Amino acid sequence: MLRIDSIDAWQAYRKNVDGDIGLVPTMGALHAGHLSLVNAAKSSNEHVVVSIFVNPTQFNQANDFEKYPNTLDEDLSQLAQSGVDAVFMPTFELMYPDNYIYQLTEKDLSTQFCGAHRPGHFDGVLTVVMKLLNLVQPNQAFFGEKDFQQLALIKGMVKAFFINTQIVSCPIVREADGLAMSSRNLRLSAIERKVAPQLYATLNSDSTLKEKTEHLNTIGFDVDYLAVMGDRLLVAATLGEIRLIDNVPYDMPGDKA
Ligand code: AMP
């Protein structure tokens, strides 16, 4: 597995790639959810490239960025074992030669749900994904349904800007107790980790949206929103210091709204 940490080295590598490339963008601290994207990429591409870049422009709280988990050595050995061809690990200076003077903004969906609570977050996400797509020029790029709003915005961006990459969505991978896998789960205390699966359980419970929100707030979550987007029920809630998100398929029953 090649480790590439400069744009020049990446472009030299890209020129010589023959066959389809599948890209899996990540921020590291990898878990089985990320590896499911790698496996999906492998099944339909000759070459799989994983990027590891903790993108500062999508963090709206300095503390969250500084404390973002870093498990680079384990990440690299997991990716090598998974048969990844190349890992792209650029620095901020290389990814943002303009120091983030140029930004990509979506003006509708990105202001709702997570966007309403994390100002600038989706500008950072869309900008970095556009940069990665332009640099890597993959045939396909793989994103998890865990970040459902992000996935919808990336699909919309690719369509709006005629980007020649197919966006492939992958199902949420969960722990045995139902908690959606997330790099931030590493930062939960033992007690918080016991409560955390209630987020998924509550989404699935037979109750109204208002009752679900109240229940989560009662058991220790601080709910940012619990709301329907299309055919999904989305939630974002903070437990201790950690903001968790999740979503489930949802067909709006008349008596539950
Ligand atoms: P991140 O490293 O958190 O930026 O995530 C990188 C990619 O992995 C994104 O497309 C996420 O949606 C996806 N991902 C993260 N957690 C999961 C999960 N539990 N199941 C499936 N995909 C995931």
Q: What is the CATH number of the domain that holds 51?
A: 3.40.50.620
Same domain, 29 and 133: yes
Binding residues for beta-alanine: 58
Model pLDDT, residue 252: 75
Domain that residue 77 falls in = 2-170
What is the rounded distance in angstroms from the CA atom of residue 17 to the CA atom of residue 34? 23
- Per the domain annotation, does 257 fall within a domain? no
Tell me which residues of the chain have a pLDDT lower than 50.
255-256
The Å distance, Cα 50 to ligand 1 centre, comes to 12
Same domain, 153 and 83: yes
Task: State pTM to two decimals.
Answer: 0.97
Q: Across-strand partners of 248?
A: 233
pLDDT in tens, 14-42: 999 999 999 999 999 999 999 999 999 99
Tell which of 132, 147, 170 closes a domain: 170
Give the helix/strand (H/E) hosting 245: strand 242-249
- Per the domain annotation, does 198 fall within a domain? yes
Of the CA atoms within 13 Å of residue 185, those in its CB half-sphere come to: 20
Active site amino acids: 34
Computed over every residue of the chain, the mean pLDDT equals 97
Instruction: Specify the 3-state DSSP secondary structure of 223.
Output: strand
Contact predicate 34/24, CB 8 Å: yes
Among 99, 86, 82, 79, CA closest to 10: 86
Among 158, 121, 136, CA closest to 14: 136
The ligand 1 atom at the shortest distance from the C-alpha of residue 28 is 2
The H-assigned helical ranges of the chain are 7-15, 32-44, 62-66, 72-81, 92-95, 114-117, 121-136, 148-160, 190-195, 198-204, 209-218
Same domain, 129 and 202: no
Within 6 Å (CB) of ligand 1, which residues are found?
26-27, 33-34, 36-37, 143-144, 146-147, 170, 172-173, 180-183
Same domain, 144 and 105: yes
Same domain, 93 and 218: no
Contact predicate 198/209, CB 8 Å: no
Binding residues for (R)-pantoate: 58, 150
The Å distance, Cα 75 to ligand 1 centre, comes to 14
The ligand 1 atom at the shortest distance from the C-alpha of residue 184 is 3
Nearest-Å Rg of the Cα atoms of the chain is 18
Task: Report the residue among 51, 147, 150, 247 best suited for mutation to probe ligand 1: largest number of ligand atoms under 8 A from its CB.
Answer: 147
- Per the domain annotation, does 253 fall within a domain? no
The Å distance, Cα 55 to ligand 1 centre, comes to 14
CA 144 to mean position of chain CA atoms: 6
